[in-house]
Amino acid sequence: MTLHLTKQERKELIAYYETDALPNFTACNEDDVWYGYQVGDKMFDLNVWDDEYYGGKSGVHCTVYLCEPTHDNNWTTTLVSCPLYEESDT
């Protein structure tokens, strides 16, 4: 299922990605990292990953997943997602 972000959600998620997630991803030298970020009353998981690790063309990608609240006041990641960033976007 495709996640449809509002302009404001996309703006805030891109800002978080650029200022926090990407610098952290680069610094921690991992191939695949997950970050949680809340916009208003919605929670999102951002999966930042290096395509080269998975045999792809190489480059950093970020996929955003919608989270849903659980009965114990936590969040669970759904399969509803959309790409937020690919290195070719720059």
Question: Is residue 30 assigned to a domain?
Answer: yes
Which DSSP category does 2 fall into? Answer: B
**Residues spanned by the domain of 81:** 7-89
Q: What angle do CA 70, 81, 63 make, to 5 degrees?
A: 110
- Examine residue 1 and state whether it is found in any structural domain, yes or no: no
Q: What is the pLDDT of residues 55-73, one digit of tens each?
A: 667 789 999 999 999 999 9
Q: What is the pLDDT of residues 12-59, one digit of tens each?
A: 999 999 999 999 999 998 889 999 999 999 999 999 998 876 666 778
55 lies in a domain? yes
Domain-embedded: residue 2: no
Around Cβ 35, how many Cβ atoms within 10 Å?
18
Compute CA distances 42 → 57, 71, 75, 87, whole Å.
Answer: 32, 16, 10, 26
The answer as to whether 68 is a domain residue is yes
* Count: domains in the chain: 1
59 found inside a domain: yes
